[in-house]
Chain A
């Protein structure tokens, strides 16, 4: 079907007039726009889910460090910790945090991941969907529905703003990934269309202004740990909306606020590594080390 879903309002209108879930509208739209079948859209999504799962599996067992030598062993540390003393918040929390770290660490090792929406934020959506799916015995079809739902959120946001730290800071990368994940989680747990969008809205609203200040310009510090934090952040949003807590600021207005915040953000904090963590005493020292390593 030909749908115009450039805003959340339009998306909800399309859903209610057709009496369909968000993923149904999106998969039909994608099929229409690219002259393929809904089955083909879903098959492509499944291919991405499988790649996400592979990244988690290999990330969970690797200890290989990144080129810089700074990152790569956090998943293992966390796994060891959980072995000795389980997470306070239970199995789901354990899975979400380790899956997120496992994926983003695969990324910095130059292994295969799925950019979702970007490479630097690649651990968040898979961690939430796959951890929940495992814990709740969710079928592959439902995983596909969840990832399409997540993608719909990213699709709408990206009609207003490019998903790049260089454009709007990390709110546009890990922030958006967290919003996408919240939507996916609410879908997996049987929430309504309104709740799905509300979940994304709450997650995004509470991460507005997140800067991008990677040390040495590498997708490592703070990106790696941020993936675990923002995956968990999505679960907070999920619990709130399932309790019918609503964002008082409507979704499309939150996006507007995000765009404006991105514009107001100093360029020093937008992937230039000229401010924030990158220019702390230690950040600079690390950068110097990296410089000498590069010469070799």
Chain B
């Protein structure tokens, strides 16, 4: 569990009006940026439920875009994000949907570019967020810890190979979650870590046979 802090109740310094609908939206955008890494050519934001219903009045639409463009929750750019130079450099549009199977404050980032990726996340309150799905894989990324994400061929021995590489560097694994889309096809691994991940580990993991995709996802700033 996350260590509780005095600053849970004082801060963040943020652009209003809502910690879940504005600050949470920015943080979801930032996470999507950290996961996708490249600059997308085009993004569709699909907002669900309360995000779809009251999002406009809370600047959720602006927050998501601002985050994806790399602005933090206290950036004065958020309010006028549509006029910013950065926003003009990508294509974006919004869709609004109701879906009772989704969290009340849910969003999909449908990113197109050199690679296509769909990232789904929820704003779970007080500015906290979780990334729950990347393409077909369930994930559990809160942005509170550095996270290693990988997609690989579903076969025995992968988890131990990866965790050995991490342990060799003396890095503590806080949590590890796996998911797969069908037996023997592709699987995903989400590893939350207590410290920063050196680039050489990422390379070593990338070099394991049948690892398709590795991402070193930086934690969000408090």
Task: Mark the stretch among B14-22, B84-92, B135-143, B186-194 that contacts chain A.
Answer: B14-22
Q: Mark A77-120, 1 if CB is under 8 A from B, else 0.
A: 00000000000000000000000000000111111111111111
B50 part of interface (Cβ distance < 8 Å): yes
Interchain CB contact under 8 A, A115 and B54: no
Taken together as a complex, chains A and B put the C-alpha atoms of A152 and B126 apart, in Å, by 17
- Pick the contact of A41: B6, B13, B57 (CB < 8 A): B6
> Contact at A119–B17, with CB atoms within 8 Å?
yes
Closest to A152 in B: B6
Tell me if B11 counts as interface (CB < 8 A to partner A).
Answer: yes
Q: Is A269 an interface residue (CB 8 A)?
A: no
In contact, A33 and B22 (Cβ under 8 angstroms): no
Of A42-50, A130-138, A226-234, which binds chain B? A42-50
Q: Does B182 belong to the interface (CB within 8 Å)?
A: no
Contact residues, B1-58 vs A (CB, 8 A): 3-20, 22-23, 50, 53-54, 56-58
A290 and B53 alpha carbons, distance in the complex (Å): 10
State the total of A-B contacts with C-beta under 8 angstroms: 135
Q: Is the CB of B57 within 8 A of A110?
A: no
Contact A108 B19 (CB under 8 A): no
Complex CA gap A110/B7 in Å reads: 21
A27–B7 Cα gap in the complex (Å)? Answer: 11
A235 to chain B, nearest CB (A): 20
**Nearest Cβ in chain B — how far from A234, in angstroms?**
15
Q: Quick check: which of B72-80, B106-114, B166-174 contacts chain A, the rest being far away?
A: B72-80
* Interface residue? A200 (CB, 8 A): no
Name the contact of A118 in the complex, choosing from B4, B53, B126 (C-beta under 8 A): B126
How would residues 119 to 137 of chain B score, 1 for a CB under 8 Å from any chain A CB and 0 otherwise? 0000001110000000000
**In the bound complex, do residue B19 and residue A115 qualify as a contact, i.e. CB atoms below 8 Å apart?**
yes
A252 in the interface (beta carbon within 8 A)? no
- Chain A residues with CB under 8 A of B16: 106-113, 119, 122, 219
Whether B6 pairs with A119 at a CB distance below 8 angstroms is no
Is B59 in contact with chain A by the CB < 8 A criterion? yes
Chain B: number of interface residues, binned into ranges: 35 or more
Please state if A33 and B79 are interface contacts (CB–CB under 8 Å). Answer: no
**Which residues in B have their C-beta under 8 angstroms from that of A107?**
16-17
A245 close to B (CB within 8 Å): no
Residue in A41, A44, A109, A219 whose beta carbon sits within 8 Å of that of B18 in the complex: A219
A277 within 8 A of B: no
Q: Which label, helix, strand, loop or mixed, suits the secondary structure of the A interface? A: helix
Q: Are B10 and A111 in contact (CB under 8 A)?
A: no
Distance in angstroms from B70 CB to nearest chain A CB is 18
A114 to chain B: which residues have CB within 8 Å?
Answer: 10-14
Q: Once bound together, how far apart are the Cα atoms of A292 and B157, in whole Å?
A: 56
B54 with A119: CB separation less than 8 A: no
CA distance A47 to B6 in the complex (A): 14
**Given the complex, which residues of A lie within 8 Å of B19, measured CB to CB?**
115, 118-119
Cα distance A294–B6 when bound, in Å?
37
A90 vs chain B, min Cβ distance (A)? 28
Query: Are the C-beta atoms of A110 and B78 separated by less than 8 Å?
Result: yes
Q: Whole-angstrom distance from the CB of A214 to the nearest CB of chain B?
A: 9
> CB-nearest residue of chain B relative to A219?
B17
In-complex Cβ contact of A51 among B8, B13, B127 (8 A): B13
Complex: how many Å from CA A48 to CA B4? 18
Given A119-B19, A294-B56: A217 in contact with B50 (beta carbons within 8 A): yes
Contact A67 B54 (CB under 8 A): no
A150: chain B residues at CB < 8 Å are 10
A170 at the binding interface (Cβ < 8 Å): no
Interchain CB contact under 8 A, B79 and A110: yes
Q: Are B22 and A218 in contact (CB under 8 A)?
A: no
Q: Mark the stretch among A159-167, A188-196, A253-261 that contacts chain B.
A: A159-167
Q: Can you list 5 A-B pairs with a CB-CB distance of less than 8 A? A: A30-B5, A68-B57, A110-B17, A218-B58, A293-B56
B residues at A contact (CB < 8 Å):
3-20, 22-23, 50, 53-54, 56-59, 62, 74, 76, 78-79, 125-127
Query: Nearest 6 CB-CB pairs, A to B?
Result: A154-B9, A107-B16, A217-B54, A117-B9, A110-B79, A219-B17
In the complex, given contacts A27-B6, A34-B5, A111-B76, what are 5 additional A-B residue pairs having Cβ atoms less than 8 angstroms apart? Answer: A26-B6, A44-B7, A108-B17, A110-B22, A113-B15
